[in-house]
Structure 1
Amino acid sequence: MSPSLSSGPAAPLIQLDQAHVIRGQVRVLHGLSLAIAQGQHTALLGPNGCGKSSFIKLITRELYPLARGDGLPAVQVLGQSRWQVDRLRSQLGIVSGDLEDALADQHGLDALAAVVSGFFASHVIPGHKQVSDDMRDQALAALAQVGAQALAERPYAQLSAGQRRRVLIARALVNKPQALLLDEPSSGLDVVARQHLLDALSQLARQGITLLLVTHHIEEVIPEIERVLLMRDGRILADGPRQTVLQDGPLSAAFDAPLHIHQHDGQLQVRVLPLSA
């Protein structure tokens, strides 16, 4: 079922209402309540282990919240609480390390085929499915959109980490999703590849593609991201405009260390201050 089309206000991209998640015997998300509007570029920022990846898995239906006693949904995406997983993942283009590893394990998969697989919400192109010329053209256009068209015929497993990340973004774009969910997208990239990736994300944001960036690197919160959520221990510690949240006090509390943040040539820079004697 597709999201309802109406003349009224657009449903939030993501809405959580007292969402609790348990993995194994550990509660990893504690009663999260928030709404992210369509078109609102947002960063979810926090230290390793704070619950960021669990948040993404909750949205993409890899994890499920505890049932609420009142029967109301704890999680809604684009106004719906029930989704077919493949349909949901076409509406929310996902870029994650898990997906990168799964595609790299597919023997003989070139970059173009990796992008085409996005049409089927699968790690491979199902044998019983036909790949049309239009799909190939859209996949090539998506690669061109992220500056990776020259990689089309290269084996995906042999690409550098930065090249793979661009192919993953192209894969997410072929379905013209409502938003991109980027889970630690610069993990494993060198400084040059990371900057190229961030430049590509800025360009996509300016084209009107909603970004939800999940990261523990404060420097990756690109200027186009206007809202920042700070997480710690499975809870939202701060939520507001970037100029309010990206300050020494909130960041030091989230990362449990004295931090100082400043801008240089438009780029965020962070310094860990020495501990007081």
Structure 2
Amino acid sequence: MSPSASTTASVPLIELDQAHVIRGQVRVLHGLSLAIAQGQHTALLGPNGCGKSSFIKLITRELYPLARADGQPPVQVLGQSRWQVDRLRNQLGIVSGDLEHSLADQHGLNALDAVISGFFASHVVPGHQKISPDMRQRALAALAQVGAQALAERPYAELSAGQQRRVLIARALVNQPQALLLDEPSTGLDVVARQQLLDALSQLARQGITLILVTHHIEEVIPEIERVLLMRGGHIVADGPRAQVLQDGPLSTAFDAPLHLYQHAGRLQVQVLPLSA
């Protein structure tokens, strides 16, 4: 990771201050206030419909918060409240299912070009843009970083779901972002592809790339993630070190079901207990 000279580690990566979001006629986020520091690997956990997707869209400027009466910005990324979307996405590498489908719909796009398209915040490489040798080398290096360099010339649409996901991560890495924002990254993956993805994320975290993982799968909280937030009904209901938050009580509250968390072969596992237990 190569932060710009103007960015200091003291500036939060993401800062929310009483951020409210309405979609349609429904308030989906209720006064969220939190700060995520640069270098602080963080997971946001919660059941389907709790507001996780709205949280991501708020950060990526697909949704906007209600204005505050005092005029203070409810959302700041790297100390700024106003961003051009393409510049923001260069700072926060986005990995989402929506992007995966958009790339798969591009006829003739190979994996290398899918990664190169990340330089232009586009789903294709614009015809009027010149691809420099440096861009090509950086794209190949990003593919190698996630163990996918051998896929470079293969059509993106013909890759397996796990391979596509690794290409998406490489695409996010070409701009040397401050962090990766991962939206349900293992959706649709089989057990082997899922573990390969989690291993790749662990390796990236150890390389110093900040991870913000948004998921409803507790098992995906890799050991490198030290902070966990639990969300329910558009509210943050728990926030703290993983050892404190990843406990039966807080998880059962967030998911509204009796859960038991344990480890097997060094990996987190979760069991849904009978309601009478």
Q: TM-score of the superposition, structure 2-length normalised?
A: 0.97
Query: What does 1:197-236 correspond to in 2, within 5 Å?
Result: 197-236=197-236
Q: CA deviation at 1:69?
A: 0.7
User: Residue deviations 1:1-21, cap 9 Å, x none?
Assistant: x97726x65210000000000
Partner of 1:88: 88
Structure 2 counterpart of 1:5, which letter? S
Partner of 2:23: 23
Match of 1:276, SS? Answer: coil
Q: Separation in 1 of the partners of 2:191 and 2:4?
A: 39
Preserved CA contact (<8 Å) 2:19 2:65: yes
RMSD: 1.3
User: Residue deviations 1:202-229, cap 9 Å, x none?
Assistant: 0000000000000000000000000000
Preserved CA contact (<8 Å) 1:3 1:78: no
Q: Separation in 1 of the partners of 2:68 and 2:119?
A: 34
Partner of 1:5: 6
User: Residue deviations 1:108-160, cap 9 Å, x none?
Assistant: 10000000000001111112111111101110010011000111011101111
Instruction: Spell out structure 1 runs of 4+ moving beyond 4 A.
Output: none
Preserved CA contact (<8 Å) 1:104 1:156: yes
Partner of 1:116: 116
Partner of 1:255: 255
Partner of 1:34: 34
Q: Separation in 2 of the partners of 1:152 and 1:26?
A: 43
Match of 2:231, SS? Answer: strand
Preserved CA contact (<8 Å) 2:9 2:38: no
Count of matched residue positions in the alignment of Structure 1 and Structure 2: 275
Match of 1:19, SS? Answer: strand
Preserved CA contact (<8 Å) 1:3 1:79: no
Preserved CA contact (<8 Å) 2:90 2:175: yes
Q: CA deviation at 1:265?
A: 2.1
User: Residue deviations 1:21-48, cap 9 Å, x none?
Assistant: 0111111100000000000000000000
Match of 2:192, SS? Answer: helix
Match of 1:236, SS? Answer: strand
Partner of 1:128: 128
2:148 maps to 1:148: yes
Q: Which runs of 5+ in 2 are unaligned?
A: none
Identity in percent: 84
2:54 maps to 1:50: no
Structure 2 counterpart of 1:93, which letter? G
Q: TM-score of the superposition, structure 1-length normalised?
A: 0.97
Preserved CA contact (<8 Å) 1:114 1:171: yes
